[in-house]
Amino acid sequence: HSYDPFLLTHQGATWAGDFIPYVTGLPYPLSAVPKAQLDVTLDTIRAKIKAEAPWARQSGLLAYLDEQVASMDTPDRLLGLMDAPFEKVEAWARANGVKPGNITLGEFGMIRQEYGNSYVMPAGYRAAYVRDMIARAEAHGFSWSVWSYGGAFGIVDAFNGDKAEPDVMDAIKSLH
């Protein structure tokens, strides 16, 4: 499994800790929008944390947001963040005589919409993330499978039998 960077892949997920529910609207990659637009989104997230998070957690959540954004604010940093889990598995495989072709990235994806949350991640961001994760897995010689058919991370179905946007499936289909 890899959902790095978690800040981007789990936006708005109420079940993913006390930080992520405040985060929505960030693009993938962060450079997909002009810096001024990204700054407005980050200011909106900061305002939400200040308005809704427990007072004792606010400074830590705000610092964590800034730390996470700084860790992926350039294409090279983002690539390093996404590659880190693959490099760990690759090192383990070498040390244990496991061929890369015998390793599967068994689950990855980007949330489309948290059940009960009105925010829907733009399909183009989700497709770009899936395309990039597939490229990372294949660059290391690993096979892959995408999570999930339906629901919050759905690539075919959304909630209530609605269809998800075709962008992610189209990105996957274009690879083969």
Chain Cα centroid distance, residue 161: 24
Express each pLDDT in 89-119 by its tens digit.
Answer: 999 999 999 999 999 998 899 999 988 888 8
22 touches 61 (CB < 8 A): yes
DSSP symbol at 1: -
CB hemisphere CA count around 76 (13 angstroms):
0
β-partners of residue 122 are none
- If one counts every other C-beta atom within 10 angstroms of the C-beta of residue 141, the result is 14
Express each pLDDT in 123-175 by its tens digit.
Answer: 999 999 999 999 999 999 999 988 778 888 888 887 777 788 888 888 888 87
User: Domain map of the chain by residue range?
Assistant: 11-73, 74-176
Express each pLDDT in 46-93 by its tens digit.
Answer: 999 999 999 999 999 999 999 999 999 999 999 999 999 999 999 999
Helix (H, G, I), strand (E, B) or coil at 138: helix
